[in-house]
Amino acid sequence: MDAKKEQVLPLSRFVKQKRKQAGLTQIDLADKAGVGLRFVRELERDKPTLQMNKVNQVLMLFGYELGPVPMDRQKWIDEKG
């Protein structure tokens, strides 16, 4: 495993952390990303359904975009079953 690889965080925590590191309020982030304040709040509260294009608008401000992440499929199946 690459020591430089970033820790995988839940999306809500990742966005909040990046926003705070950038010194932005939720209002600032919404304005800069071109999304509504309600969307930013829902994103940071881990709402289970969000529009991917809007999530990407927010992530692009920090140099990221949504993409597939490897996971332990069997563990997921075991947790759901």
Q: What is the pLDDT along the chain (81 residues), one digit of tens a residue?
A: 444 556 778 999 999 999 999 999 999 999 999 999 999 999 999 999 999 999 999 999 999 999 998 888 898 889 887
Q: Which residues contact 69 (CB under 8 A, 6 or more apart)?
A: 8
The pair of structure tokens assigned to 21 is 């590191």
This prediction has a pTM of 0.80
Please state, in angstroms and rounded to a whole number, the distance separating the CA atoms of residues 22 and 18: 6
Query: What 8-state DSSP symbol labels residue 5?
Result: S
The CATH class, in words, for 11-80 is mainly alpha
pLDDT score at 6 = 61
Q: Where are the domains of the chain?
A: 11-80
